[in-house]
Amino acid sequence: MNAVEVIRHQNARSLADAVAAQLITHIVETQSAGVRPHIVLTGGGIGTAVLASIAKGTGLNAVDWELIEIWWGDERYLPAGDPERNETAARSALLDLVHIPPQNLHAIAGPDATADAESSAAAYADELERYRRPEDHAPVPSFAVMLLGIGPDGHVASLFPEHPALHDDRVVTAVHGSPKPPSTRITMTLPTIGAAREVWVLASGTEKAAAVRLALEPTAGVLQVPAAGARGRERTLFLIDEQAAAKLPPGLGRPTA
């Protein structure tokens, strides 16, 4: 497995701006190579701030938005348009401001479109399977980048410590009894996260510092610290601000200028 790269930024604003620029560069380079990038978005404050930074940045028009596929790593099982949905926040911050064909936005269905969370998870797994290619060697597309937030408890996507979903080897699963409301969610599983070419874990704020430290411990168990299992096939980045880095050992991580 590839080594984890830790890159520290001065504050949340500089972190969001740097990740936005890095993501734009990655997308443009992938498209220039003749490949349609599949990007997995995350919710939360820093994930949404990255999208807002892209919307305001000079690189916005460098991307061919008609040749990109957008997915979500997890979603609250709520109706379309609900302000608590990750999709809603992403649309407001960026996606409704650019010309992406509707069929390229792969939202996770809520209770307004499916009978239950299990049906939603199965439908999303089917959609992922339809977009995979033989060369992906997985039941999902080869995601160019998967963005993930990390919770103070070490969760990523909607995979919470000691939760049964961590044992699930399906592509997508329903989560019931989430310790963080709402209690019902849909999430990609650890095997799906591990199929991404690059995984970028984003963390901002002192409340994330302990989780970041634990996630980077070589001996950390994924059942106790799910973020410790968030690793890409080719590259894994922990992109954090100095507050989130507060509990790391001295010298761990490369500070930006």
- Per-residue pLDDT of 196-242, as tens digits, reads 999 999 999 999 999 999 999 999 999 999 999 999 999 999 999 99
Which H helix or E strand runs over 229?
Answer: none
Handedness of CA 12, 13, 14, 19 (dihedral sign): positive
CB distance 162 to 109 below 8 Å: no
Range of the domain at 123: 4-255
* 81-115 residues labelled b (16+ CB within 10 A) or e (exposed): eeeebbbbbbbebbbebeebeeebbbbbbbbeebe
Q: Provide the number of structural domains found in the chain.
A: 1
Q: Alpha carbon 3 to chain centroid distance?
A: 19
pLDDT at site 243: 97
pLDDT at site 2: 67
- Tens of each residue's pLDDT in the chain, 257 residues: 568 999 999 999 999 999 999 999 999 999 999 999 999 999 999 999 999 999 999 999 999 999 999 999 999 999 999 999 999 999 999 999 999 999 999 999 999 999 999 999 999 999 999 999 988 889 999 999 999 999 999 999 999 999 999 999 999 999 999 999 999 999 999 999 999 999 999 999 999 999 999 999 999 999 999 999 999 999 999 999 999 999 998 878 777 75
From residue 191, alpha-carbon distances to 30, 140, 173 in Å are 23, 10, 11
DSSP class of 159: B
Query: How many CA atoms does the CB half-sphere of 191 hold within 13 Å?
Result: 13
CA distance 189 to 156: 10
CATH number at residue 63: 3.40.50.1360
Which H helix or E strand runs over 173?
Answer: strand 172-175
pLDDT at site 253: 77
pLDDT at site 254: 75
pLDDT at site 3: 84
pLDDT tens, 167-197?
A: 999 999 999 999 999 999 999 999 999 999 9
Backbone angles phi, psi at 52, to 5 degrees: -65, -35
Handedness of CA 78, 119, 107, 174 (dihedral sign): positive
